[in-house]
């Protein structure tokens, strides 16, 4: 079974909400990348999203844009990222890894070659922000190799497109809490709750909610109705200012505790 599917099955059985941190691969320190990944797991991450640096990250706000620029300036490329995943797998064979990025680096690498190398390294899923569901055939080699193809849905997604996303998504569906770029700090909870409920009626695939999740309070609010919470910009911003592994643990652990507190109160 794919590690993403296995992890969400475990979370459902335990009545827990998944915690998915996003970090840009190689930022702020390439040598510290693998220790950082292990620190995220120690702090309670259920799945890790690794951002593949790209020169034109159109869906990302300033924090992740600058993070991507720093990683590229340090020479971080796809092959190196896959090497980090492979090294991570030497000590952690269970935590799912998703690569999140854009089509161009994968296209240049070659879809079949990328899929084969990603699977061998230990990657479990791929989210390509600029690959609309209508063009899912383009990345068919990824699914053929066993990678989960994760698609985005947003408040502006039409009913017709949402039906396609629900049909094509695997692993989990990433719901964007508002129309905009990553890193914004506010979103209206009730419209997100309603949209996630609608998605769950259409698809059995777990729903993760991201964009605008900045702390334990916002994560716990989303845990009321989502299968997982994604936190990116706030974590990336925090890591730049602090010692990596300690900062990762200190930032993520309270969020994990808030999600578990919600699960406990819900079970009671």
User: Is residue 237 annotated as part of the catalytic site, yes or no?
Assistant: no
Q: DSSP secondary structure string, 48-106?
A: EEEE---S--TT--HHHHHHHHHHHHTT--HHHHHHHHHHHHTT-SSS-EEEEE-HHHH
Distance CA 24, CA 248 (A): 13
Q: Is 49 a catalytic residue?
A: yes
Catalytic hit among 27, 49, 117, 260: 49
Strand partners, 231: 21
Which of these, 58, 56, 112, 106, lies nearest to 81 by C-alpha position? 106
Q: Among residues 5, 46, 60, 168, which one is catalytic?
A: 60
Kindly state the greatest CA–CA separation across the chain: 51
Residue 208 near residue 223 (C-beta atoms within 8 A):
no
Residue 257, token pair as written in the block: 């505790």
What separation in angstroms does the CA of 128 have from each of 25, 121, 157? 15, 18, 17
- Among all chains, which residue has been given the structure tokens 């992740």? 64
Beta partners for residue 229, in sequence order:
19, 209
Burial (Cβ within 10 Å: 0-12, 13-18, ≥19) of residue 86: middle
Supply the residues annotated as catalytic.
49, 60
């Amino acid at each position: 079974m794919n590690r993403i599917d296995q992890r969400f099955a475990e979370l459902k059985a335990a009545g827990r909400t998944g915690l998915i941190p996003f970090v840009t691969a190689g930022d702020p320190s390439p040598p510290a990348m693998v220790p950082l990944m292990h620190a995220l797991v120690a702090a309670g991450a259920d799945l890790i999203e690794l951002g593949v640096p790209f020169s034109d990250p159109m869906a990302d706000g300033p924090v992740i844009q600058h993070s991507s620029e720093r990683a590229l300036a340090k020479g971080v490329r796809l092959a190196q990222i896959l090497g980090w995943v492979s090294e991570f797998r030497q000590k952690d064979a269970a935590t799912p890894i998703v690569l999140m990025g854009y089509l161009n680096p994968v296209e240049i690498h070659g879809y079949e070659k990328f899929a084969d190398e990603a699977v061998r390294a230990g990657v479990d899923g791929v989210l390509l922000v600029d690959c609309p569901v209508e063009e899912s055939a383009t990345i068919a080699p990824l699914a053929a190799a066993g990678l989960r193809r994760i698609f985005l849905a947003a408040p502006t997604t039409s009913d017709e497109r949402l039906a396609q996303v629900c049909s094509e998504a695997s692993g989990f569906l990433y719901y964007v809490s508002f129309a905009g770029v990553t890193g914004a700090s506010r979103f209206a909870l009730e419209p997100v709750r309603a949209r996630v409920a609608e998605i769950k009626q259409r698809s059995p695939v777990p729903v993760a909610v991201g964009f605008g999740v900045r702390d334990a309070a916002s994560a716990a609010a989303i845990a009321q109705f989502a299968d997982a919470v994604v936190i990116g910009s706030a974590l990336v911003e925090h890591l730049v200012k602090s010692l990596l592994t300690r900062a990762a643990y200190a930032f993520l652990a309270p969020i994990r505790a808030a999600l578990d507190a919600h699960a406990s109160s819900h079970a009671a």
